[in-house]
Amino acid sequence: MANFSDFNTGVYFNGLFGTMPAFPMEYAGWEAAARAQLDDVMYDYVAGGAGDEFTQDANVRAFQRWGITPRMLSGAAERDLSVELFGHRFASPVFMAPVGVVGVMDAASETPGHGDLEVARTAAATGVPAVMSTLMQDPMEAVAAELGDTPAFFQLYTPNDRELAESFVRRAEAAGFAGIVVTLDTWTLGWRPRDLQHAAMPQLQAKCLANYFSDPVFRAKLDKTPEEDPGAAAIQWALTFGNPGLSWDDLAWLRGLTDLPLLLKGICHPDDVRRAKDGGVDGIYCSNHGGRQAASAPALDLLPDVVTAADGMPVLFDSGVRSGVDVVKALALGATAVGVGRPYGWGIAMGGAAGAQHVLQCLLAEADLTMGLNGYASVAELTRDVLVRIP
């Protein structure tokens, strides 16, 4: 059985023949390389967070408050990082979290402006699943066609038009997506000073709205087609996006839209977990949107109570994951699978699918080595007592 850490060995052996890595090997380098490819508006949109950005910084620092207890002579020369999720067996517990502007982050790819296709190609090449945002630059059907044999999930920003929401879900089912992830914390945009300073939002410029512009329900509401008047279509999107009135009373309707696994994203309180479970959802997605939407506690600090309340139901997690070590710590705190957002987004920006694949290889190799060198041979061995709290 191959270990993901073989990538690590391969880099050294390639060096013997004068072949150096095409991309940086850690988060700061990925961000810097992406920064060189993006204009100020796009870079700030991705790098920025809510308010004073304390929450997104705290998400990262939360991982530093945990250490891993080494165990020696444990026979961990071969590791099994695979996980079972909604009837699918994945080779690793890592997934690509939804990034709503990744479709226009691929400045360094051969055909810029199709970053969602690059993400799908990354998933196909690596076997790492993706949760694809509603806000795509290409229609979901075209994106799904690039996934190969790797399952992916469709993330739904529930619009204030039920007919449109139902149309999105039906299309996702027909395109072959493996589940629906409903984001709950973005019924309106958070306070984002960087974006406000630029007075810019990509979607109001008619970017990343392909799923709306290609939808028959949405198009029927327009006087002119999006091709004829993209500005007017973008305004209609702004009037449609988000549903401030969405409540627990709507969960039965959401559950009734599909037989696919249904996950709620943004759940961080155990009472909300239990209510979601009672409402028939199939999984919880613990996240504070990477600190981009509202000031909150670090998502990692909220994860253990969410896992306890889930009582065996799968719990996906993202927010603040920057390394393979972070992946291991989140698993030890109970996450079933761990999402990365900005890291692979920077990869798309610095090199399209090749850049994102490199980022995932780095993260998985580091996670694999972290487990092996600390004496843990499988994800099942990563329990809370593996971790030590660091004052």
Query: Is residue 87 a known part of a binding site?
Result: no
Query: Is residue 292 a known part of a binding site?
Result: yes
String of b and e for 275-291 (b: at least 16 CB within 10 Å)? bbbeeebbbbbbbbbbb
Nearest to 91 by CA among 37, 42, 127: 127
Query: Is residue 285 a known part of a binding site?
Result: no
Q: Tell me, yes or no, if 289 is annotated catalytic.
A: yes
Query: Is residue 289 a known part of a binding site?
Result: yes
Query: Is residue 320 a known part of a binding site?
Result: yes
| Contacts with 98 (C-beta within 8 Å, 6 or more apart), sequence order | 131, 132, 133, 155, 181, 183, 341
CB 296 within 8 A of CB 209: no
Query: Is residue 109 a known part of a binding site?
Result: no
String of b and e for 7-40 (b: at least 16 CB within 10 Å)? bbeebeeeeeeeeeeebbbebeebbebbbebbee
Query: Is residue 192 a known part of a binding site?
Result: yes
Query: Is residue 71 a known part of a binding site?
Result: no
Distance CA 95, CA 149 (A): 15
Query: Is residue 389 a known part of a binding site?
Result: no
Query: Is residue 378 a known part of a binding site?
Result: no
- Residue reference for tokens 């850049």: 355
* Helices of type H across the chain: 6-16, 27-35, 40-47, 54-63, 115-126, 140-144, 162-175, 193-198, 210-213, 216-219, 230-240, 251-256, 270-278, 299-310, 324-332, 342-374
Query: Is residue 99 a known part of a binding site?
Result: yes
Candidate list 88, 114, 198, 289, residue with the active-site label: 289
Query: Is residue 167 a known part of a binding site?
Result: no
Sheet with 94-96, edge to edge strand ranges: 94-96, 337-340, 315-317, 283-286, 262-265, 180-183, 153-157, 131-132
Query: Is residue 296 a known part of a binding site?
Result: no
Query: Is residue 79 a known part of a binding site?
Result: no
Query: Is residue 318 a known part of a binding site?
Result: yes
Alpha carbon of residue 94 to chain centroid: 10
Query: Is residue 138 a known part of a binding site?
Result: no
Query: Is residue 12 a known part of a binding site?
Result: no
Query: Is residue 265 a known part of a binding site?
Result: yes
Surface-to-core class of residue 176, CB atoms within 10 Å of its CB (0-12 exposed, 13-18 middle, 19+ buried): middle
The CA dihedral of 35, 186, 112, 322, to the nearest 10 degrees, is 40
Surface-to-core class of residue 56, CB atoms within 10 Å of its CB (0-12 exposed, 13-18 middle, 19+ buried): buried
Query: Is residue 170 a known part of a binding site?
Result: no
Query: Is residue 46 a known part of a binding site?
Result: no
Which residues are known catalytic residues?
Answer: 289
- The annotated binding site for glyoxylate is made up of 45, 157, 192, 289, 292
- The annotated binding site is made up of 45, 98-100, 133, 155, 157, 183, 192, 265, 287, 289, 292, 318-322, 341-342
- The annotated binding site for FMN is made up of 98-100, 133, 155, 183, 265, 287, 318-322, 341-342
